[in-house]
């Protein structure tokens, strides 16, 4: 077993590429992207029934070693503050 961090990001599909580039630049090279997710948050409901893909949301999940946390936050925060989206980092155990 190994203690790791788990990052979950929900953002519009246009900004997902920027966020993934940040993950890679910090050394988080393995991630999963789930496209066209729907849900409800503080900004309301994203129903996913629109034909324009740039209004869709993506869900990005990745696991990484804790030593990358501060640098990741430093680089992701300006993007999420400017373009929106949510990002959560939590503890996880890889088995």
Residue-wise pLDDT tens digits, 7-18 = 999 999 989 999
Q: Give residue limits of the domains in the chain.
A: 2-94
> pTM score, two decimals?
0.85
pLDDT at 93: 96
Residues of the chain with pLDDT under 50: none
CATH 3.30.70.120 fits 2-94, yes or no: yes
Phi-psi region of 48 (alpha: psi -120 to 50; beta: other; left: phi over 0): left
Q: DSSP per residue over the chain, as a string?
A: -EEEEEEEEEEEHHHHHHHHHHHHHHT---EEEEEEE-EEETTEEE-S--S-GGG-EEEEEEEE-GGGHHHHHHHHHHHHHHH--EEEEEEEEE-
The encoded tokens of residue 63 equal: 């696991």
Looking at residue 54, its pLDDT comes to 54
């Amino acid at each position: 077993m190994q203690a790791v961090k788990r990052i979950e990001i929900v953002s519009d599909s246009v900004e997902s590429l920027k966020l993934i580039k940040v993950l890679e630049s910090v050394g988080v090279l393995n991630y999963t992207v789930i496209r066209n997710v729907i849900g409800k948050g503080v900004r309301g409901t994203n129903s996913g029934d629109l034909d324009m893909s740039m209004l869709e949301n993506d869900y990005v999940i990745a696991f990484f070693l804790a030593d990358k946390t501060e640098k990741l936050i430093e680089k992701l925060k300006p993007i999420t503050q400017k373009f929106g989206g949510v990002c959560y980092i939590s503890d996880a155990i890889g088995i």
